[in-house]
Homo-oligomer: A and B are copies of this chain.
Amino acid sequence: MSVITIERKILAKNDAIAGQNRALFERQGIFVINLVSSPGAGKTSILERTLEHLRGRVKIGVIEGDVQTDLDAQRVARYDIPVVQIVTRGGCHLEANLVHDALQKIDLESIQLLVIENVGNLVCPANYDLGEACKVVIASTTEGDDKPLKYPEMFLKASVLIVNKMDLLAYVNCDINTLKQNALSINPRLKIFETSCTTASGINAWCDWLVCQLNKHG
């Protein structure tokens, strides 16, 4: 059996479980996002800002995916919400069965929005459906404006692009218009937000969009 055949079988099995997850989320009326980016682009910081902004308004649960450590789960747990940590122990992406198992530890009746923070990796998580309503890719200005062209699959699979670290734009070699044009050349349907977790700029607009999606799915 060839490696490619094995890979196809893995993806087919993953997609089947992702479908079950998605059906469960739809039955429960939960809006689910899969947060993806390079390491250090700001997934956990965006999540923290989102939790602050929506506190008392939206019931949120979180699944944290990391190669090692529960540092991110510790950061998020301070907001007094349900958090489950998945440690992949070297694995470079989350898979649908890991999310399926994590769901057993969350009271789904108690949440409206589930945020799955994937492993920091701009390549591999693109191919693994977890059952989410949409992938949200974060690209920070410090990574430069060419990343959508160099890692196109993730920008193609995402519905939303958050350009983070806007406060550092003046100090780095990144043209924001080029970055957005490059992203839209890969995926013209991308909804784009510009944020800074340091100044909190753009967090309002991002959270408004989230609330709007909740109203559609709830």
**A209 CB within 8 Å of chain B:** no
**A140 CB within 8 Å of chain B:** yes
**A178 CB within 8 Å of chain B:** no
| Contact of B10 with A90 in the complex, beta carbons under 8 Å | no
Q: Which of chain A's residues 103-151 have a Cβ closer than 8 Å to chain B?
A: 119-124, 140, 142-144, 146-147, 149-151
**Shortest Cβ distance from A90 into B: residue:** B153
CB neighbours of A168 from chain B (8 A): 142, 168, 171-172
A40 and B122 CA atoms in complex are apart in Å by: 11
Instruction: Tell me how many chains of this kind the complex includes.
Output: 2
A150 and B85 CA atoms in complex are apart in Å by: 13
Instruction: Determine which of B38, B92, B146 lies in contact with A92 in the assembled complex, contact meaning CB atoms within 8 Å.
Output: B92
Which of A15-23, A65-73, A76-84, A200-208 is the contact stretch? A65-73
| Contact of A40 with B147 in the complex, beta carbons under 8 Å | yes
CB neighbours of A121 from chain B (8 A): 92, 121-124
CB neighbours of A172 from chain B (8 A): 168
| Contact of A149 with B69 in the complex, beta carbons under 8 Å | yes
| Contact of B1 with A150 in the complex, beta carbons under 8 Å | no
**Shortest Cβ distance from A66 into B: residue:** B150
| Contact of A92 with B39 in the complex, beta carbons under 8 Å | no
**A29 CB within 8 Å of chain B:** no
Q: Given A92-B92, A168-B168, does the pair A71, B146 have CB atoms closer than 8 Å?
A: yes
**Shortest Cβ distance from A88 into B: residue:** B123
CB neighbours of A92 from chain B (8 A): 92, 121, 123-124
Residues of chain A having any CB pair with chain B under 8 Å: 1, 3, 6, 10, 38-40, 66-69, 71-72, 90, 92, 119-124, 140, 142-144, 146-147, 149-153, 165, 167-168, 171-173, 198
Given contacts A3-B10, A67-B123, 15 further A-B contacts (CB under 8 A): A1-B1, A38-B40, A38-B120, A39-B122, A39-B147, A40-B147, A67-B150, A67-B152, A90-B153, A92-B92, A120-B122, A121-B124, A140-B142, A167-B171, A171-B171
